[in-house]
Amino acid sequence: MSNGRTTVTILLSLAILPALGCATYVNLPPHDSDVAIHVPNESNTLAVQGAALRALKHDWPEGQPTQVLPYAGTSQANAHQVAVSAGQPFFFASEPTSDVPTIEIRQVRIRGTRAAVDIARPSIPADAQSTLQLITVHLDWSVMTGWQSRRLRVWRVALQDALPVSHEINP
User: Could you give the number of structural domains in the chain?
Assistant: 1
Residue 7 inside a domain? The answer is: no
Residue 98 inside a domain? The answer is: yes
Q: Is the pLDDT of residue 171 over 70?
A: no
- Report the amino acid identity of residue 164: P
Residue 54 inside a domain? The answer is: yes
Residue 104 inside a domain? The answer is: yes
The confidence band for 21, taking pLDDT boundaries of 50, 70 and 90, is very low
Residue 63 inside a domain? The answer is: yes
Are 170 and 94 a contacting pair, CB within 8 Å?
A: no
Between CA 116 and CA 136 the distance in angstroms is: 6
Between CA 100 and CA 76 the distance in angstroms is: 19
Instruction: Convert 54-105 into a string of H (helix), E (strand) and C (coil).
Output: HHHHHHCCCCCCEEEECCCCCEHHHHHHHHHHHCCCEECCCCCCCCCCEEEE
pTM, rounded to two decimals: 0.82
Residue 83 inside a domain? The answer is: yes
Residue 5 inside a domain? The answer is: no
Residue 106 inside a domain? The answer is: yes
Provide the domain limits for residue 130.
Answer: 23-162
Pick the more confident residue, 98 or 51: 51
Are 137 and 146 a contacting pair, CB within 8 Å?
A: no
What pLDDT, on a 0 to 100 scale, did the predictor assign at position 9?
Answer: 63
Of the ranges 32-41, 64-73, 91-100, 161-170, the best mean pLDDT one: 64-73
